[in-house]
Chains A and B, each alone.
Chain A
Amino acid sequence: MDFGLIGNRLGGSIDLYQRKTEDLLYSYNAPQPPYVLTTLYTNVGSITNKGIEIALNAVPVRTADFTWNVDATWSYQQNEMTSLSNELYKVDRLEFGGLPSPGNLGNAIRVFEGGPIGDFWAYRFAGFDEQGKWQFFKEDGSKGGAGDMSDIDKVVVGNGVPKHMVSLTNNFKYKNFNLVLYFRGKLAYDILNTQEMYFGNINWSPNNMLRSVLGKHAQLTESPQYSDYYLEPGGFVKLDNVTLGYTFNLKTDYIRSLNVYITGRNLATFTRYSGLDPELEDTGFTTGIDSRGFYPRTKSLALGLRVGF
């Protein structure tokens, strides 16, 4: 639905959608015999995505010399792995996000038939004991060490798929100057900080370790274990574009227009996440896992000249 009000000083659109995708391809364990190989790549599953997208545009100020234009967008999305099985192939869950060495910690993410994508499936942290060893909650609420835990003690401890995407663009024009301030953000998801999990653990020595080994994780003496201890809130808002430009009024036939600008990208990030960058993947099965090999995004500053002939 699109709309425009107040002489088009306020306008926008609202979109609602629901999309069901069927015959998803996946590699299923095939009975052997009668098949030649142990897995079969075949169409079985289905996934449903639904959401709402709202875009608004307003012109709060418009005078002869000065215009302020605001664009804001917000989207919310929800997904569900509707089915993983049919009469021939039955799977009730899929696991993703295998955790790296050392230790055989398994997969970080579990998707159940009928459940959402991206759930973190882990032990619940219950503190450290006097020797600095891990304590987790067992299914019945009692505490146990890493060796006492088993699969039934794992629960959903978070989800790595961003639910909300927002953006805000402010466009200012004053005489020949123009200024753009562009914010964007993703909200409502968790991040598994594997850098803290492995590099922030004293057992990573003699390799380089994070300072948190002596700080935040000073109490911990045992090797890495996967639990909600390393799960952090991942929402953020970034100031992703600030552009200041000036357009010259040239009275010549050779040059039609000339605009000089300075622009900064990825200038600031506002987040509670303690790792390098809370912006990870939005789609796929391993969203929300901040891998150990993450390469930082650059902040950049550019000077530009736009000439029209």
Chain B
Amino acid sequence: MKKCIIYISLGLLLTVSACTKLDENIYSQVTADNFFNNKQEVMAAVLRPFTHARAWATMQDRHGYWRLQELTADQQAWPQKGRHGYDGAQWIRQHYHQWTIVDRAIEEPWELIYWGIGFCNNTIADLEKVDFTAIGMTDADKASIIAETKVVSAWHYLKLLDLYGNIPIVTTVGEPANPPTTPRAEVFAFVEKELKDNVDLLPKLSAPLVGRVSQAAGYAMLAELYINAEIWSGTSRWDDCIAACDKIISGETGGLNGAPELDPDILTPFSVTNHLSKENLFQIAFDYRASGDAPGYPAVFWHYRQRQIYNAERDGNNEWVTTPNAYDAYKNNDLRKQEWFLMGVQKKHPDLRNSPEDSIVLGTEEYSGKPLEFVNNIRRNSEGESGEGGMTRGEENSGARFNKYRPGTVNDEDYLGNDFVVYRLTEIYFFKAEALMRKNGGAATQEAVDLINACKQRAFTAADWPAEAYTTSTLTLDELLAERGREFFAEGKRRSDMIRFGTFLTASWWDHQPSNDPKWLLFPIPQKQLVINPALKQNPGYE
């Protein structure tokens, strides 16, 4: 009996003490407490937002910033082609400016970009607590890495400012529980402050920093912010834009492959070895051979038999095409028209021809068994249609096709190694020229003309160039918008450009009529977010 009492009391004692101490040693998961033990682990957290950005910022068959910037603008479309591509009319709604507050195409970019901001906020909070000197790094590393993460976060907010305008700002995960809408001009001020406070703490751009954010990237973001300041904040900031551009142009912020300069031709910035480009300033890196992850452009742009054109190991989903007006905006002697687009009868890659006669790629749908010939119209030619066609009238061969980024062949060492270019020196030249012109009442200064000509010259042979070079009278703002369209085709810029130049609501192109209502200048706050967070306000016109 006595023994029982002793055992029972001992048992009670143990259970009572055990009940109050509820801390766990977690062996099944990695948490902030047992991570960040070395440089590898620190960099894994720092680099995460970049791999995540592949989903929303780059050419992908996914809802994201890039898709919204292009399909709502006047150069590309995803028409229905027979039995393919209707997709609940979502591409049709984007093309005609008829999107709704419940479209997944509106919801998902929001989710993906705030997800990236969540990574940044989380990393900054975790790394602030890490003693870098204890893990073989320096305090200078810590300052530079935290600055880089803040600038990356500011880049996310810059894109949200562009798409949705009036958005919540959060710098700590989970706080506040229901962040309120911040008006666009204040979001602009926040992004400007984050960039200015941190950009000079970043390293200068150099080869090892490919895919990451450096001073060059930070000043490019400032340049983009300032060129759009009139629209985004109500106050124009042309001089600040010029100052940011000059920082980059001078070489002060570094270069990817020596001092930054324009690449000598029109394919180098986009090639499979574009980590060696002299003009690229910020790109999202891809390395198919090393990682198995390929850039997303094959799925988006390639025909069902496109592997035969390139000798690639994959085909595409035959989605996006160039609208006829955009293809016609190039003169026939413009090398960009010849090199960046596929048009006409498609030939098989020489390595794939079984015989000299077997050199043509054949179609699979309307032109099954017949030569695949891309045409500069989007209508049912196989059914005898004529006229301008339309978004539901496409066929498998409609439209000029994207050939700006090429994969190489499946046997190449760098096959599908193209990094996605976010900013390149050409765009900085264009920003500066535009700011100079806007300061000058819309008229080109000689400096502006020289900047644009330096870029455009690569698109023409030496013989053709003199006739194509701009002068201070031929370079107007309208012409600048058109040249931006030709130069930055498919780079995810077109919608913002059209809005800034005032044509997004008023222009007609192909079968798109003016959409007129100013609400279309912003995307709506997704209905799903308004339901969860009552502190958010819908954008004007969408209530």
Contact = CB atoms under 8 A, between A and B. Distances in A.
Contact of B119 (A32, A36, A38, A88): A36
**Nearest 3 interchain pairs by C-beta:** A36-B118, A33-B170, A31-B533
Interface string B507-543: 0000000000000000000001101110000000000
Nearest to B533: A31
A126 interface: no
Nearest to A38: B111
A37 interface: yes
B177 to A, nearest CB: 6
A30 B114 CA distance: 12
B168 interface: yes
Given A29-B531, A31-B529, A38-B115, 14 more contacts: A31-B177, A32-B111, A32-B529, A33-B117, A33-B179, A34-B170, A34-B177, A35-B118, A35-B174, A36-B114, A36-B115, A36-B118, A36-B122, A88-B177
Interface string A35-51: 11110000000000000
B108 to A, nearest CB: 10
Interface of B: 110-111, 114-115, 117-119, 121-122, 168, 170, 172-179, 528-529, 531-533
B532 A33 contact: no
Contacts of A88: 177
Interface bin, chain A: 10 to 19
A37 B176 contact: no
Contact of A34 (B110, B179, B528, B531): B179
Contacts of B122: 36
Nearest to B120: A36
A35 B111 contact: no
Nearest to A28: B532
The binding surface of chain A is classed by DSSP as loop
A33 B114 CA distance: 6
Contact of B110 (A29, A32, A35, A37): A32
30 contacts: A29-B531, A29-B532, A31-B177, A31-B179, A31-B529, A31-B532, A31-B533, A32-B110, A32-B111, A32-B114, A32-B115, A33-B114, A33-B117, A33-B118, A33-B170, A33-B179, A34-B168, A34-B172, A34-B174, A34-B175, A34-B177, A34-B179, A35-B118, A35-B174, A36-B115, A36-B119, A36-B173, A37-B115, A37-B118, A88-B177
B175 A30 contact: no
B117 A29 contact: no
Contacts of A33: 114, 117-118, 168, 170, 179
Q: Which of the listed residues B110, B114, B531 has the most CB atoms from chain A within 10 Å of its own CB?
A: B114
Contacts of A30: 532
Contacts of A35: 118, 173-174
Interface string A154-186: 000000000000000000000000000000000
Contacts of B174: 34-35
Nearest to B174: A34
Interface in A219-268: none
Contacts of B111: 32, 38
A34 B532 CA distance: 12
Interface of A: 29-38, 88
Nearest to B168: A33
A86 to B, nearest CB: 11
Contacts of A31: 177-179, 529, 532-533
Nearest to B108: A38
Contacts of B172: 34
A152 to B, nearest CB: 18
Nearest to A35: B174
A89 to B, nearest CB: 9
A264 B174 CA distance: 60
Nearest to A37: B115
A29 B528 contact: yes
Nearest to B536: A31
Contacts of A29: 528, 531-532
Contacts of A32: 110-111, 114-115, 118, 529
Nearest to A89: B532
Contacts of A34: 168, 170, 172-177, 179
A95 to B, nearest CB: 15
A303 B118 CA distance: 65
Contacts of A37: 115, 118
A38 B118 CA distance: 11
Contacts of A36: 114-115, 118-119, 121-122, 173
Contacts of B529: 31-32
Contacts of B119: 36
B17 to A, nearest CB: 24
A251 B528 CA distance: 81
Contacts of B531: 29
A88 B177 CA distance: 8
B368 to A, nearest CB: 24
A61 to B, nearest CB: 45
Among B174, B176, B528, B531, chain A packs the most CB atoms within 10 A around the CB of B174
A34 B176 CA distance: 7
Nearest to A31: B533
B302 to A, nearest CB: 29
Nearest to A36: B118
Contacts of A38: 111, 115
